[in-house]
């Protein structure tokens, strides 16, 4: 049972809190290059950034994306250290319950979501090009592809292993049931996005989308006994967004193929994935991988297993 792989008497919950803090500190260390770049550029131009908009304006978007994603490399390495030295577990134990990582599962989830997302973007462009602008620029785009392929999977995998792996197991150790880790990791994952530009634009109700996404990723992790599907989905989601479409109100402003010119608004499209698309995906995955024992895997407790 994947969620119980960290279940040990010596793995008190305070260790997970401490481990999470260390991973966060690791990401802060990884932000030192960005901080130095801001200071050097600020002094050279005699203009220090006073807002998020100023910060974005200081750098080429590819360079800024690179500097942001570097922090996740440090977070990932710190997570490995925490799991191995702090909890005396193999790193594989927070990835999957299988004997090795099932890369086929990763690529299946990645392919399904990448194709779906890409198709929607292309259809939107040809349906109403007044809201989506073609901005393809070959050289910056190729550099963006390189940065995205190398660093973005590290970012998305780190987030999945922290929330759906490490913390999921930590909350199971605390509660000894499965619904509490599922709910807590989903809520924390959603709230972590509270400072995203789109939240400031559309209001806190958009957090329903982020919490719902966390819930979806948690469900497929528990049902599949591993994080492979969640890792593939998350990578496809972020990489598609970075390469195909950007806007002035998203976290990553990139040299993508398209730019969304529409004003962000809280409408049915924000909730469509949570209440329609994600349940369909869960159904599809359940058929592909023949999931069973839903109640036990999502709501069961330690004594029952």
DSSP class of residue 267? S
**In this structure, are residues 27 and 74 in contact, taking their beta carbons and an 8 Å threshold?**
yes
pLDDT of residue 58: 86
Residue 260, φ and ψ in degrees, nearest 5: -80, 120
Q: How far apart are the first and last CA of the chain?
A: 8
pLDDT in tens, the chain (305 residues): 899 999 887 889 999 999 999 999 999 999 999 999 999 998 888 888 877 777 778 899 999 999 999 999 999 999 999 999 999 999 999 999 999 999 999 999 999 999 999 999 999 899 887 889 999 999 999 999 999 999 999 999 999 999 999 999 999 999 999 999 999 999 999 999 988 888 878 888 889 999 999 999 999 999 999 999 999 999 999 999 999 999 887 877 899 999 998 877 777 777 899 999 999 999 999 999 999 999 999 998 876 44
Which tens digit of pLDDT belongs to each residue from 21-63? 999 999 999 999 999 999 999 888 888 887 777 777 889 999 9
Residue 304: predicted pLDDT:
45
> What pLDDT is stored for residue 240 in this prediction?
96
CA-to-CA separations, 158 to 32, 169, 259, in angstroms, rounded? 19, 15, 27
pLDDT given for residue 303 in this prediction: 60
Q: Which two tokens stand for residue 150?
A: 């190398």
pLDDT of 305 = 43
Q: Domain coordinates of the chain in residue numbers?
A: 2-304
Non-local CB neighbours of 292 within 8 Å, separated by 6+ positions: none
């Amino acid at each position: 049972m994947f969620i119980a792989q960290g279940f040990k008497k010596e793995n008190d919950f305070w260790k997970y809190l401490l481990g999470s803090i260390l991973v966060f500190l690791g990401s802060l260390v990884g932000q030192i290059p960005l901080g130095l770049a801001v200071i050097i550029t600020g002094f050279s131009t005699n203009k220090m950034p006073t807002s998020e908009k100023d910060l974005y304006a200081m750098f080429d978007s590819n360079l800024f994306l690179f500097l942001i994603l570097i922090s996740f490399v440090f977070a990932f390495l710190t997570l490995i250290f925490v799991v191995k030295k702090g909890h005396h577990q193999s790193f594989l134990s927070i990835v999957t319950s299988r004997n090795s990582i099932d890369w086929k599962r990763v690529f299946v989830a990645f392919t399904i979501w990448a194709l779906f997302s890409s198709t929607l973007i292309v259809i939107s462009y040809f349906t109403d090009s007044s809201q989506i602008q073609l901005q393809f620029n070959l050289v910056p785009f190729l550099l963006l592809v390189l940065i995205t392929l190398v660093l973005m999977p590290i970012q998305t995998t780190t987030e999945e292993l922290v929330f759906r792996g490490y913390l999921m197991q930590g909350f199971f150790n605390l509660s000894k049931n499965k619904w509490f880790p599922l709910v807590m990791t989903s809520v924390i994952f959603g709230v972590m996005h509270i400072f995203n530009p789109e939240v400031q634009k559309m209001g806190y109700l958009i957090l329903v989308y982020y919490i719902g996404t966390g819930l979806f990723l948690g469900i497929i992790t528990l049902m599949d006994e591993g994080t492979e599907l969640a890792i593939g989905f998350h990578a496809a989601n972020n990489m598609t967004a970075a390469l195909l479409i950007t806007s002035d109100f998203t976290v990553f402003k990139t040299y993508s193929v398209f730019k969304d010119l529409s004003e962000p608004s809280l409408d049915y499209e924000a909730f469509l994935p949570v209440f329609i698309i994600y349940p369909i995906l869960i159904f599809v995955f359940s058929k592909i991988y023949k999931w069973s024992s839903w109640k036990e895997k999502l709501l069961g407790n330690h004594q029952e297993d």
